[in-house]
Structure 1
Amino acid sequence: MMGHRHEAVEGLYAAFGHVRRPARVPGCPHCVAPQEDRPLLDGPVRSLPADALARYAAKAISTWGGAEEFRYFLPRLLECAAADAFGYPDPAIVFGKVAAAGWHAWPAGERAAIEAFLTAWWADTLERHPADPDAGTVLCCLGAARADLTPFLDHWGGLPDAGAVRHLREFVLYGVEWTRGPRLADAFWDRGSVAHRQVLTWLTDGGAATAVEAAFDAETREDVLGLLEELHAVLAAYS
C-alpha cells in the first residue's frame, strides 16, 4: 500500500504542477519578516526540507499568503504533514488549511488528486499497526480537510486486516470521550462539524458494532478475536 501512497503523492505533484511559482509570498508584517519567503522560492517545491516549510505551514492562509500561493506548495505540504514531518504544526492544522483554501471549488483534476491522496493515506494507515500518525489522527485530518468521511468509515468498517482492528480498538478506547457527550477526544476536531457527527453516528448507531460482529464471525486468530470482543463490549454499551 505504500506504493499506492507514493503514486498518490506523485499525482499531487502532477495535478498542481501547472501552478506557477509565486514571485513572493506576502505575509503579515507583524508575523513574517520581509525576506522570510525567499528560502521557500529558491528551488523546486518538492525539494523543500520539512523544517524550512514548517513555519509557512503554520501560518499559511491566516497570516502568510493566500490560496493561490498555498496551491503551489500544497503537494509538499501534504506530503510532509501526512508523514508528521513538521513537528509543529500538527498535521490536522495543515489539512484544515486545505479546507480554508477552498479546495472543494478547485478544478476537477486538483480535487481528484487530493481525494486520491487522502484515500491512499487512509488505506496505508489502516494496513499498518502501529502507524505514525495513527488512525485517529489521520481521521481527524480528513475531518479537518472537510472530506466526506462516509467512504473512509466504510473502509474501516470492512476491517480488512488485523491492523484495522487494532487501530479501531485504540480509537474506541482512547480516542472517544464516551461520558462527555460522547465526543472525539482529539482537540483538533471541530466538534460542531459534519465530520465529527459522521464519526459519532457511525460509532453509536450500530454501524461500527455491526462491522465488529461480522469480523468476529469470520475471524479465527485468538488474539484478534480478543480485540474484537473488547471492541464489541464498548460499542454495545453506547449503541
Structure 2
Amino acid sequence: MPRQPGPTDHRPTPPRPPSTAHRLDEALNGLSDTFRGMTAHPDEYNCPCHWGSAEELARLKTADVELDADLLRRTWEATDWTYRGSVLRRILPQLAAALVSGSAGTDLEGVGRAFAMSGWRAWPAEQTAAVEEFLHAWWTHTLTTPAPTVPAHQLLVLTAEATGTMAPWLTAWEATPTPEATRHLAEAIDHWDHDLLADRLPWSTWEDEEEWYAELTTWLVRHAPARLRAHGAPEDLLHRVRLLGLTGPARWEDPHMPDHRY
C-alpha cells in the first residue's frame, strides 16, 4: 500500500542563491550606503591649469553632488592628489556605477592604479569590505554573463591592479567552469597571446611584471587546455596555449608559432 505523505513531506523549498546581477546591484548599493556623505579633504588642491577650476574642486568638497562625466574622469585620472583616499571615497559610488555601465572609458589599468594609490586596503573595515565585495561581485557577474559590458580580460587588469594580486581572480575564473566563463577565457587568450608569446605581460603594471607574466602563463598552461578542449576550442587556440609552456628555440621554431612581428 502506498505510503501516505506525512507532515515532513512538504518542507519548504530552500531559497535559491541570489543571481550574480542581484549581487552586483547590492554591492553597488553597498558602496552608496558606505560612502554617502564623503568629501575630498578640506585642504585638497589641484592646479586649475592642468586639472580643473576652483568651482569643480569645490564640488569634490561637497557631499553627494553628482559630477559630470568629464569631471569624474579627470578626478580619478589625476595622480597628484595630496589626500588620494579621500578623493576616491568621494567619487567611488558614482565611479563604480560608471565602470559597470561601461561609461567610464577603457583605461581600466588606470582605474586599477587609482584604487591602489588610494590605499583603500587601509581604510576602516566597513569601507574596505564594501570595495572588496564590489570587485568580487563585478568579477563573478562578468564571468557568468555571455556578453558583459566590460570583457573579462579587461576587468582582470583592473581587479589585479586594484588589489595588487592576480591570484584570487584567476582562482575564481578556474572555479567557474561555465560555457560563458570558458568563452571569456578563449577571448582573453586571443587578446593576450601576441604579448605572452613575446614574453611580456599584456598590460603595463606597477607590480613585478616578470612575476605576473610567469603567474599568468603558468595558470594558462596548467588550466586552459583541458577546459578549452572540452568546449570544442579550435586547435590553433590550443597550440597557442601549448606554446606558452615552451621557451627559446622550442617555441620559436615550433611549426605552430604564429607568424607575428615580435
Report the TM-score when normalising by structure 1: 0.78
Secondary structure class of the residue paired with 1:226: coil
Match of 1:192 in 2: 208
In 2, the alpha carbon distance for the partners of 1:28 and 1:185 equals 33
In 2, the alpha carbon distance for the partners of 1:162 and 1:231 equals 16
Q: Relative to 1, partners in 2 of residues 1:22 and 1:102: Cα closer, same or farther, differing over 3 Å?
A: closer
What are structure 2's unaligned runs of at least 5 residues? Answer: 1-19, 246-262
In 2, the alpha carbon distance for the partners of 1:238 and 1:190 equals 23
Match of 1:179 in 2: 197
Residue correspondences, number:
223
Q: Residue 117 of structure 2: which of 100, 110, 122 is its match?
A: 100
Cα contact 1:184–1:191 (8 A) shared by 2: no
Match of 1:66 in 2: 84
Q: Residue 80 of structure 1: which of 82, 92, 98 is its match?
A: 98
In 1, the alpha carbon distance for the partners of 2:97 and 2:213 equals 24
Q: Relative to 1, partners in 2 of residues 1:64 and 1:22: Cα closer, same or farther, differing over 3 Å?
A: closer
In 1, the alpha carbon distance for the partners of 2:82 and 2:123 equals 20
What is the CA-CA distance between 1:140 and the residue it aligns to? Answer: 0.4
Larger radius of gyration: 2
Q: Tell me, yes or no, if structure 1 residue 31 matches structure 2 residue 50.
A: yes
| Pairs within 5 Å for 1:77-156 | 77-87=95-105, 90-156=107-173
Q: Alignment identity in percent? A: 27
Q: Please give the per-residue CA displacement for 1:138-175, whole angstroms capped at 9, x wherever unaligned.
A: 00001221343222212211343211111100111222
Q: Relative to 1, partners in 2 of residues 1:62 and 1:78: Cα closer, same or farther, differing over 3 Å?
A: farther
In 2, the alpha carbon distance for the partners of 1:3 and 1:157 equals 22
Report the TM-score when normalising by structure 2: 0.72
Cα contact 1:13–1:75 (8 A) shared by 2: yes
Q: Relative to 1, partners in 2 of residues 1:195 and 1:98: Cα closer, same or farther, differing over 3 Å?
A: farther
**One-letter amino acid of the structure 2 residue matched with residue 165 of structure 1:** T
Q: Which segment is superposed worse, 102-111 or 117-126?
A: 102-111
- Answer 1 or 2: higher relative contact order, Cα 8 Å, separation at least 6: 1
